[in-house]
Amino acid sequence: MISDRKLEHLLLCTHSDVEYHKKTGFKDVELVHKALPEINKEEIDLSTSLLGKKMDAPIIITAITGGHPSSIEVNQKLAQAAGNLNIGMGLGSQRAAVENPELTSTYTVAREAAPDALLIGNIGAPQMEQALEASQMMDLDAMAIHLNPLQEAIQPEGDVDSRGYLENIKKTTEEMKIPVIAKETGAGISGNDAKLLENVGVKAIDVAGSGGTSWAAVETYRSPDKDMGELYWDWGIPTAASTVEVSQSVQIPIISSGGIRNGLEAVKALALGADAVGMALPVLKTSYLGEGALEKFFQKFMDQIKVAMFLVGASNLKQLQKTDLVIQGKTREWLTERGYNTKIYARRSSL
């Protein structure tokens, strides 16, 4: 049962260590302090617009849930917060409701709770033929196709025939009225894959790199054979590297996610070229903490973002992408070997 698995995932992610042991790589990224910011921190403007929708901050609660009775409460809370703060929110895979329409309300509750926020639908690449129907389930601003080959490969019941996905995405982008986002779920997207996706009409990419929730980790708990999940626990392109690869490869907007846990990491991602950052696990955990917890969480997160933006002298997100940052260590090594230039960020402010 899909919906049972959904519950299992929610519980596992909330209670067990399901995160990558290897890091996002943001520790390797150092923003260069500006002793003379020459801006007013009070006037820092985090607003942006993504896929035609205005947002008060470049933050998206990425796809988490739907399809299980318990999803209703979670999605409602997430959507209320998203609505209150005017940030983005993604639904969990809508497959359950496409296959079992009784479950539709576990998803539509989000649009009800957040009538104006950027709301993103979700369907897995193996169920791409359901994308159109899913996109019509409610008033959605975009449809995310999630790519999750790592989990599919590890879980016994996984769908491991990924042939024709690109062609299918092309068809989907053509027939769909709303823009299509391609998103990974924790193993990252390379510059090359991003280019392919852009070429078939995808309108934004959520890199969902490694360093946060690991689907190999999640499956380790669910599987009798622990070895496979443990072996692939750390598989993937670290989020910092993935963000750079994608941003140097495509023109469409980029959501950087996977292991982003505070506003400082968010600012690094944004300065590296992301148009917004996404988070799932910490948001899910916070949603259980009671009334107002999510609002407090995001408020703090935005405060943290503003501190870093102040300290590099960026009044808005566009200026942030002109500030200096240094890429060191393994992230620099990865990018250099891969042919991506790391020095272009290091002194761009004075060009």
Ligand X SMILES: Cc1cc2nc3c(=O)[nH]c(=O)nc-3n(C[C@H](O)[C@H](O)[C@H](O)COP(=O)(O)O)c2cc1C
- Region 326-345 residues binding its own copies, contact defined as CB under 8 A: 326-330, 332-334, 337-339, 342-343
Rounded to a whole number of angstroms, the minimum distance from the CB of residue 337 to ligand X is: 25
By CB under 8 A, the residues from 166 to 225 that bind its own copies are 166, 182, 184, 187-190, 192-193, 196-197, 210, 225
Binding site residue list? 5-6, 62-65, 93-95, 122, 151-152, 183, 213, 259-261, 280-281
> Residues 186, 163: contact at Cβ < 8 Å?
no
With CA atoms as reference, report the closest residue to 279 among 118, 10, 69, 61: 61
Q: Which residue's Cβ lies closest to ligand X? A: 212
Residues with Cβ within 8 Å of 227's Cβ and at least 6 positions away in sequence, in order, are none
Cβ count near 291 (within 10 Å): 8
- Cα(283)–Cα(268) distance, integer angstroms: 19
Q: Based on CB atoms, which residue is closest to ligand X, 255 or 314?
A: 255
Q: Based on CB atoms, which residue is closest to its own copies, 44 or 87?
A: 44
Rounded to a whole number of angstroms, the minimum distance from the CB of residue 43 to ligand X is: 26
Residue 9 lies near ligand X (rule: CB under 6 A) = yes
Q: Per-residue string for binding with its own copies, 26-65, x by CB under 8 A? A: ----x-xxxxxxxxxxx-----------------------
Residue 255 lies near ligand X (rule: CB under 6 A) = no
Residue 212 interacts, among ligand X, its own copies, none and using kind-specific CB cut-offs from 5 to 8 Å, with ligand X
Q: Is 193 in a helix, a strand, or coil?
A: helix
- Cα(153)–Cα(155) distance, integer angstroms: 6
- Cα(311)–Cα(160) distance, integer angstroms: 46
The angle subtended at Cα 191 by Cα 185 and Cα 195, nearest 5°, is 100
Binding site residue list for FMN? 62-65, 93, 122, 183, 213, 259-261, 280-281
- Cα(329)–Cα(336) distance, integer angstroms: 11
Residue 106 lies near ligand X (rule: CB under 6 A) = no
Residue 185 lies near ligand X (rule: CB under 6 A) = yes
Residue 10 interacts, among its own copies, ligand X, none and using kind-specific CB cut-offs from 5 to 8 Å, with ligand X
Q: Based on CB atoms, which residue is closest to its own copies, 18 or 216?
A: 216
With CA atoms as reference, report the closest residue to 85 among 317, 295, 306: 295
Q: Based on CB atoms, which residue is closest to ligand X, 271 or 284?
A: 284
- Paired strand residues for 59: 277
Residues with Cβ within 8 Å of 26's Cβ and at least 6 positions away in sequence, in order, are 211, 239, 240, 259, 260, 265, 268, 269
- Cα(134)–Cα(114) distance, integer angstroms: 18
Q: By CB under 8 A, name the one of 153, 248, 282, 319 that touches its own copies.
A: 153
Rounded to a whole number of angstroms, the minimum distance from the CB of residue 312 to ligand X is: 20
**Which range, of 7-15, 106-114, 287-295, 300-308, touches its own copies by CB under 8 A?**
300-308
Q: How far is CA 179 from CA 33, 68, 132, 198, 257, in A?
A: 37, 26, 11, 12, 19
Q: Is 351 in a helix, a strand, or coil?
A: coil
Binding site residue list for substrate? 5-6, 93-95, 151
Residue 149 lies near its own copies (rule: CB under 8 A) = yes
* Size of the residue set binding ligand X (CB under 6 A): 25
- Pairing assessment for the beta strands 204-206 and 180-183 based on DSSP bridges: parallel
Residue 281 interacts, among its own copies, ligand X, none and using kind-specific CB cut-offs from 5 to 8 Å, with ligand X
Among left, alpha and beta (phi > 0; psi -120 to 50; other), residue 260 is beta
Q: Based on CB atoms, which residue is closest to ligand X, 125 or 325?
A: 125
Q: By CB under 8 A, name the one of 46, 109, 237, 314 that touches its own copies.
A: 237
Residues lying near ligand X in the complex (CB under 6 A) are found at 9-10, 13, 62-65, 92-93, 122, 144, 146, 183, 185-186, 208, 212-213, 257-259, 279-281, 284
